[in-house]
Amino acid sequence: MTPAQALQVQITPTAPQLGDTISVVVRQDNLEVSSSPRVTLGQQTFDTYLIGPNRFRALLPTTPLDKPGTLKIQVTGEGQVKNLAVQLRNRSFPTQSIWLPPGKDEDISDAEFNRVDAFKRLVTPQKFWSGPFVRPNQGEITTIYGIRRYYNGVFAKDYYHSGVDYAGATGSPVVAAAAGRVALVGREAQGFKINGNVVGVDHGQGVQTIYLHLSRINVKEGDMVRAGQVIGAVGSSGASTGPHLHWGLYVQGKAVDPVPWRYQGME
């Protein structure tokens, strides 16, 4: 294989929409090249991770705040540069009004924000998950990803619902959506007034899931969990109007739509 043929790139989905995770898989057959390829989108460069023999992948997040249109993706590897274009499709997101009782609409504290922010920016080279993610609770979905909100009558600018809400009964089990390491445990009694009792699982390679408003936590930081393992129970802790689970998924620090991960997987 000549060097010009060696750098092969596959992008999925081929027609992504706002909120999707874009997978860029690079095949690098020149075994003399020791460095992994790099993927650039706009002004941001993403690391790639080995997912198989000579196969590397970068996961690129998109959100409702992004502008639909042409995404210019550049892949660098084996001394080559490959430029590709992908059309990011628009997606309509509804609005919703939320009324929080006094004391529930306070701003997040610096300590709580910093803990969650550090968690969602974790990058562990190892990939812990395998196959599609599982449903974290059997309750009915009441709020989908991406909804824009009014809180107590005031539009939350630059906000979108960063996950999926399940209206599970108080005490109903919450399970890990995929295998990983528990990297965040926060409790309302210790200052987590917005997220409430929360568990965050690091799945590796810049992918994390978070579980909010729990009534019970069954794990501690550092625990390794498997897909489907009970990690807590549904509650209404933190800034919550009633018992439910908020499930979010972060890719490279941004909240993406977790639902495609349940059906398509990211192998």
Nearest-angstrom CA–CA distance, 126 and 156: 36
185 and 240 housed in the same domain: yes
> Which residues make beta-bridge pairs with 184?
200
Query: What local confidence, expressed as pLDDT, does residue 1 receive?
Result: 45
101 and 231 housed in the same domain: yes
CATH of residue 52's domain is 2.60.40.1930
Picking from 54, 88, 122, the residue at the C-terminal end of a domain is: 88
135 and 224 housed in the same domain: yes
Nearest-angstrom CA–CA distance, 154 and 197: 26
| pLDDT-derived band at 237, boundaries 50, 70, 90 | very high
14 and 141 housed in the same domain: no
Picking from 61, 88, 115, the residue at the C-terminal end of a domain is: 88
134 and 238 housed in the same domain: yes
What CA–CA distances, in Å, run from 175 to 209, 214, 244? Answer: 11, 11, 14
Query: What local confidence, expressed as pLDDT, does residue 41 receive?
Result: 97
24 and 103 housed in the same domain: no
Residue recorded with tokens 């009782």? 101
Query: What local confidence, expressed as pLDDT, does residue 6 receive?
Result: 60
| Domain total in the chain | 2
101 and 183 housed in the same domain: yes
Nearest-angstrom CA–CA distance, 58 and 69: 20
Lowest mean pLDDT among 51-55, 79-83, 217-221, 262-266: 262-266
Q: What pLDDT digit, counting tens, does each position of 187-231 carry?
A: 999 999 999 999 999 999 999 999 999 999 999 999 999 999 999
| pLDDT-derived band at 158, boundaries 50, 70, 90 | confident
184 and 101 housed in the same domain: yes
What 3 state SS string does 167-191 have?
Answer: CCCCCCEEECCCCEEEEEEECHHHC
What length is written for the chain? Answer: 267
Average pLDDT over residues 106-132: 92
What end-to-end distance do the CA atoms of the chain give, in Å?
Answer: 26
84 and 178 housed in the same domain: no
Please name which of 177, 153, 267 lies closest in space to residue 230, comparing C-alpha atoms: 177
Range of the domain at 72: 3-88
Percent of the chain with pLDDT over 70: 94
72 and 110 housed in the same domain: no
Picking from 88, 114, 133, the residue at the C-terminal end of a domain is: 88
Q: Is the pLDDT of residue 104 over 70?
A: no
Nearest-angstrom CA–CA distance, 194 and 115: 12
Nearest-angstrom CA–CA distance, 65 and 86: 17
114 and 35 housed in the same domain: no
Query: What local confidence, expressed as pLDDT, does residue 83 receive?
Result: 95
| pLDDT-derived band at 5, boundaries 50, 70, 90 | low
| pLDDT-derived band at 100, boundaries 50, 70, 90 | confident
149 and 170 housed in the same domain: yes
Per-chain mean pLDDT for the chain: 92
210 C-beta neighbours (distance < 10 Å), count: 24
Q: What is the pTM of this model?
A: 0.92
Q: What pLDDT digit, counting tens, does each position of 19-45 carry?
A: 999 999 999 877 665 678 999 998 999
Nearest-angstrom CA–CA distance, 135 and 234: 14
CATH of residue 216's domain is 2.70.70.10
Query: What local confidence, expressed as pLDDT, does residue 243 receive?
Result: 97
Q: Are 61 and 252 in contact (CB under 8 A)?
A: yes
CB neighbour class for 228 (10 Å; exposed up to 12, middle 13-18, buried from 19): middle
Q: Are strands 95-98 and 148-151 parallel, antiparallel or unpaired?
A: parallel
